[in-house]
Amino acid sequence: MSKQAQATAASGSARSRISSKQLRETFDAYSMLLPTILGVVIFFAIPLGISLYLSFTNARIFGDTKIVGFDNYVKALTDASFWIALRNTFVFSVFTLILSTVPALIVAILLNEKLFGRSFFRMLFFIPVVASVVGVSLLWRYLLNLDFGLINYGIKLLGFEPIPWLTRPEWGLASVILIFTWKTIGYNMVIFLAGLQGVPRQLYEAASLDGASRWKQFLNITLPLLSPTTFFVLVTTLINCLQIFDVPIALGITRSGTVGPADSMLTVVPLLYREAFLNTRMGYASAIAWILFVIIMAISFVQFRVSDRWVNYE
């Protein structure tokens, strides 16, 4: 046998060994992924497709389903409740976004300092995050009560009129913002802390050798290097806000289906729930879901595009 033929034979058998090894590995991989793939197909991909289809039909829980084109989407745009829900969702999101990130950043900066008992404080801020949303909503329902709630007792002690947090339309959404903010600050604080700990110490050392003041260091090193974290916190908080459900329902749903006095706590997902399961308009509810989905996709897309330009990576 010539040298060349030997080499070819050797590489040929090596190739078949590799390919049988690869086959084995592919088989193992797909066996490991089987439960996940089954789960995602049955409980995610198929429902996602059905949802899009339903949004173009007049589906209810039972009975005939007819395709109605874009009727549900047109209906949403002319439905007063939908606009109320959309407006409430945006007002809620804007306030919560500011109120839950700025204090979270301040607390994170303080707790990044070498203070005695800082892990204890971190724990305190995190407690509302883990507690059941429904449980804390009922707790706050009690604290915010007009006649005997602790908050209004404090307000009266300070000499002001008690606030009808849960009984007047103009305060309904404020109560939801208050509770959700209180529950989210600790979560955002932890992410900011992780970001702060990622700022390399050498940068501060170099800056102090150059004589930069503490505040200069904070403004010129800490804040810019924290921008990816800040951006992430803003976007995830916004996306969570747009999907809020538990607080308005636990705080404000009534037997007639209104959410808060005069629907003042009605946001998009509670509206969707009401249309689908109390009014059994499943086609219409699906259209509302897809409008929300498109809004969230647009935000994610902007996040993806902007994070390259606006955010300062190390």
Partner 1 sequence: MIGQILQRPWEKALAYLFLIVSGLIMVFPFIFMIASSLKTSSEVVQVPPTLFPSVLQLGNYIEVVQIVPLGTQLMNTVIVTALVVLGWIVTSVLAAYAFARLEFPGRDLLFGAYLGTLMVPFAVLIVPMYRIMLLFGWVDQLVALIVPWLFTAYGTFLLRQFFMSIPKDLEEAALMDGASRWGVLFRIFLPLARPAMATLATFGFLYAWNSFLWPLIIISNPSKKVITQGLVDLQSLYAVRVDLIMAGSTLAVLPTLIIFLLAQRYFIEGIATSGLAGR
Give the chain's largest Cα–Cα span: 105
| CA–CA distance, 135 with 127 (Å, rounded to integer) | 13
With respect to partner 1, which residue has the nearer C-beta, 5 or 113?
113
Question: Which phi and psi (to 5°) does residue 253 adopt?
Answer: -75, 140
Closest CB to partner 1 among residues 7, 18: 18
**Dist CA 189 CA 120 (whole Å):** 14
DSSP secondary-structure letter at 65?
-
134-173: contacts with partner 1 (CB under 8 A): 134-136, 138-143, 147-148, 150, 153
> Where would I find the H helices in 55-198?
71-78, 80-111, 118-130, 133-143, 150-157, 169-197
Nearer to partner 1, 74 or 294 (CB): 294
Q: Could you say which of 229, 259, 260, 274 contacts partner 1 (CB under 8 A)?
A: 229
Which parts of 231-290 interact with partner 1 (CB under 8 A)?
231-233, 235-236, 239, 242-243, 245-246, 249-250, 253, 255, 268-269, 272-273, 276-277, 282, 285-286, 289-290
Angle between helices 282-309 and 227-242 (to 10 degrees): 170
Interface region with partner 1, contact rule CB under 8 A, candidates 43-51, 75-83, 88-96, 257-265: 43-51
Contacts of 45 (CB under 8 A, 6+ apart): none
28 belongs to the binding site for partner 1 (CB under 8 A): yes
Tell which residue, 245, 293, 233, 297, has the closest CA to residue 271: 245
Distance in Å, CB of 125 to partner 1, minimum: 5
Is 14 a binding residue for partner 1 by CB under 8 A? The answer is no
Residue 75 in contact with partner 1, rule: CB under 8 A: no
Residues in contact with 19: Cβ distance below 8 Å, sequence separation at least 6, in sequence order: none
Task: Tell me: does residue 73 bind partner 1 (CB under 8 A).
Answer: no
Nearer to partner 1, 95 or 125 (CB): 125
Of 38, 56, 92, nearest to 260 (Cα)? 92
* Residue 193 is a binding residue for partner 1 (CB under 8 A): yes
Residue closer to partner 1 by CB (options 84, 162) is 162
- Determine which residue in the list 89, 101, 176, 195 makes contact with partner 1, applying CB under 8 A: 195
Does 48 engage in binding with partner 1 (CB under 8 A)?
Answer: yes
